[in-house]
Amino acid sequence: MARFKMQQAFHFADKRVKAGGVIVDTLANAQGGDVVYSAMSAATLPAGAVPLDVTATTVFNASRWAGTTWGWSSGRDSIDA
């Protein structure tokens, strides 16, 4: 299970996720309103993804974003994602 809350807009294929949206790695891990990003891995993790569980933290720590902080988000990056 890997769930991430987005701090900025993100789009892939035909899906758009605004800041505050949640992306998950598989349909089995999805909760209502989550967007499945099946290509998610440490190599493809988008900027602004904040881990919500232990597996997501492991993926985050193996990604290029490891060691970065999430900080504060105004939501500006989410306008018409």
50 part of a folded domain: yes
In a domain, 16, yes or no: yes
For residue 18, the enclosing domain spans 3-63
Q: What is the pLDDT of residue 75?
A: 56
Rounded Cα–Cα distance for residues 12 and 38 (Å): 10
User: Is residue 56 domain-resident?
Assistant: yes
Number of domains in the chain: 1
Buried/exposed code over 64-74 (b: 16+ C-beta within 10 A; e: otherwise): ebeeeeeeeee
pLDDT on residue 55: 94
- 42 inside domain: yes
* 18 inside domain: yes
Instruction: Report whether 62 contacts 2 (CB < 8 A).
Output: no
Q: Is residue 26 part of a domain?
A: yes
Q: Is residue 75 part of a domain?
A: no
pLDDT (average), residues 44-50: 91
Higher pLDDT, 23 or 75: 23
Q: What is the pTM of this model?
A: 0.83
Residue 70 covered by a domain: no
